[in-house]
């Protein structure tokens, strides 16, 4: 059996003196949200709705890291050309001349921008997984709507630059669609 020492009793006295003037709680239950003031509850609900709306908007704008808006609108007759750092000039030249045989193709005619984004992302990732070296993507020239910019072409230009498996791309030869299509060179997975 142990008896309190002088230091233990001093600690008890210090705690008691520190707690002087403190009122004990009248209950030990949690306050339910129903008892919140109406103005606080309304503000909390409004904040929650705002956060859900912002999250939904963010999900709509970015899928697979690709936004649904083009950074730069490109004319339908402009040629597209992109090469990631380290791609040899000779390889890019062969791609532009159509000398690298493409193994699969995707035609985006008739797709909305959101549908095209999903299809393109899935197509490129699947082609890379299947160890394809080159593919073709037909985006069209937007001649069906005179005076309208080539929105899908502009989006494809942005999206392909953002996709990791893409090493390079360029406008296709006239026999394969010209400026309405692009050859895409893919990174080989190891």
Q: Rounded to an integer, what distance in angstroms lies between the CA atom of residue 97 and that of residue 135? A: 14
Q: Which residues contact 101 (CB under 8 A, 6 or more apart)?
A: 134
Chain-wide mean pLDDT for the chain? 78
Tokens of 156: 């494809």
pLDDT of res. 62: 44
Q: Can you say how many angstroms the Cα of residue 108 is from the centroid of all Cα atoms in its chain?
A: 20
What is the rounded CA–CA span in Å between residue 13 and residue 27?
Answer: 26
**Range picked from 27-36, 39-48, 116-125 for highest mean pLDDT:** 116-125
Confidence check: pLDDT of 36 > 50: no
Percentage, residues of the chain above pLDDT 70: 65
Tell me the pLDDT band of 93, cut-offs 50, 70 and 90.
very high
The per-residue pLDDT for 64 is: 53
According to DSSP, the β-strands at 104-107 and 62-63 are unpaired
Q: Does 166 score more than 90 pLDDT?
A: yes
Strands (E), the chain: 62-63, 66-67, 81-83, 104-107, 134-138, 166-171, 181-186
CA-to-CA distance for 116 and 128, rounded, in angstroms? 18
Question: At residue 109, does pLDDT exceed 70?
Answer: yes
pTM confidence score: 0.62
Question: Is the pLDDT reported for residue 187 higher than 70?
Answer: yes
- N-terminal to C-terminal alpha carbon distance within the chain: 72
Decide if 184 contacts 135 (C-beta within 8 A): yes
Distance of CA 46 to the CA centre of its chain: 27
pLDDT band at 140 (very low <50, low <70, confident <90, very high): confident
Span 148-168, mean pLDDT?
Answer: 88
* Helix, strand or coil, per DSSP, at residue 16: helix
Checking if the pLDDT of 77 tops 70, the result is yes
């Amino acid at each position: 059996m142990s008896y309190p020492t002088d230091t233990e009793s001093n600690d008890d006295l210090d705690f008691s003196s520190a707690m002087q003037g403190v009122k004990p709680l009248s209950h030990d239950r949690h306050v339910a949200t129903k008892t919140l003031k109406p103005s606080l509850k309304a503000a909390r609900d409004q904040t929650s709705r705002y956060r859900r709306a912002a999250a939904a908007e963010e999900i709509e704008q970015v899928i697979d890291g690709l936004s649904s808006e083009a950074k730069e609108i490109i004319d339908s007759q402009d040629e597209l050309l992109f090469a990631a750092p380290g791609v040899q000039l000779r390889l890019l030249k062969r791609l532009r001349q159509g000398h690298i045989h493409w193994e699969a193709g995707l035609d985006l005619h008739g797709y909305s921008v959101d549908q095209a984004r999903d299809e393109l992302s899935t197509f490129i990732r699947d082609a890379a997984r299947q160890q394809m070296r080159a593919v073709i993507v037909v985006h069209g020239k937007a001649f069906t709507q005179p005076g309208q910019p080539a929105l899908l072409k502009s989006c494809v230009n942005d999206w392909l630059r953002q996709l990791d498996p893409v090493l390079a791309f360029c406008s296709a030869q006239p026999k394969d669609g010209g400026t309405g299509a692009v050859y895409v060179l893919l990174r080989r997975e190891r």
